[in-house]
Amino acid sequence: MSPESRRSFVRELALQLPFLLWLILLWMLLWQQFTPLSLVSGLLVAVFVTRVFRLPTVELVGRVNVWYAFLCVVQFLWAVLAGALSVTAQVFDFRRLPGAAIVEVPLRYADDIIMTHVSVASSLIPGSLVVETDRDRRIVYVHVIGVRGASDVEAVRAEVLNWERRIVRALGTPAQYRALKTDEAGARR
């Protein structure tokens, strides 16, 4: 094995290590056993899964802003509660049927990680569901209930873009964070 291929192998292993550890932990939680045997079997399953179901390696930047991550989680929990109450109100409002729409939302700062987080956050809030993503054009299509007009569609689009900004503040790369700050400074002028 040449030194260059060895470096490549070590680099790939280092990038896959968090995922392998997560799969091992998931395996141990699934079987509710924290024994050496479940650790070894979890490692074998994790290696099998990562080799058979190959996915492109995603580099994690390792940048987590703890304060913005905390704010994002709190705002997410509030949005889940508000969404649940909104859906409940729509279900019990027998006077009118709730409108529905599929809203196209072009993301601004999205790479694969940010796009995934935005999609998951948008889907977990009651009343909305991401039905498709266009990775190449960085577009998320969100199905939303309770839409009555164009202003509601714009509000949904603005809310998804707010989630993107929150997630970039919490987890984005330094370049994404700088672009967000530049855009915010330009919007204030």
Q: In what order do the strands lie in the sheet with 100-106?
A: 100-106, 139-145, 128-134
First vs last C-alpha separation in the chain: 57
- Our measurement of the distance from residue 121's CA atom to the centroid of its chain's CA atoms, rounded to an integer in Å, reads 6
Query: Taking a C-beta distance cutoff of 8 angstroms, is the pair 110, 121 a contact?
Result: no
Q: Cα separation of 155 and 149, whole Å?
A: 10
Q: At residue 14, what is the residue type?
A: A
- Please state whether the predicted TM-score (pTM) of the whole model is above 0.85: no
- Residue 131: pLDDT band by 50, 70, 90 thresholds? very high
- Give the per-residue pLDDT at 62: 65
Query: What does the pLDDT average to over 129-148?
Result: 93
Give dist(CA 107, CA 16) in Å, integer: 27
CB environment 65-97: b (16+ within 10 A), e (fewer): eeebeeebeeebeebeeebeebbeeeeeeeeee
Split at pLDDT 50, 70, 90, the class of 10 is: confident
Contact between 130 and 102 under an 8 Å Cβ cutoff? The reply is: no
Asked if residue 106 lies in contact with residue 139, where contact means CB atoms within 8 angstroms, the answer is: yes
Note the Cα 7 to chain centre separation in Å: 31
Q: Cα 161–148–143 angle (5° rounding)?
A: 50
pLDDT at 155 over 80: yes
Dihedral sign computed on CA atoms, order 59, 70, 167, 76: positive
Kindly compute the dihedral angle of the four CA atoms of residues 16, 109, 118, 145, in this order, to the nearest 10 degrees: -160
Cβ pair 107, 139 in contact under 8 A: yes
Name the residue among 130, 139, 103, 114 with its Cα closest to residue 63: 114
Q: Compute the average pLDDT of residues 96-108.
A: 91
pLDDT in tens, 43-93: 999 888 888 887 666 666 667 889 999 999 999 999 999 999 999 999 898
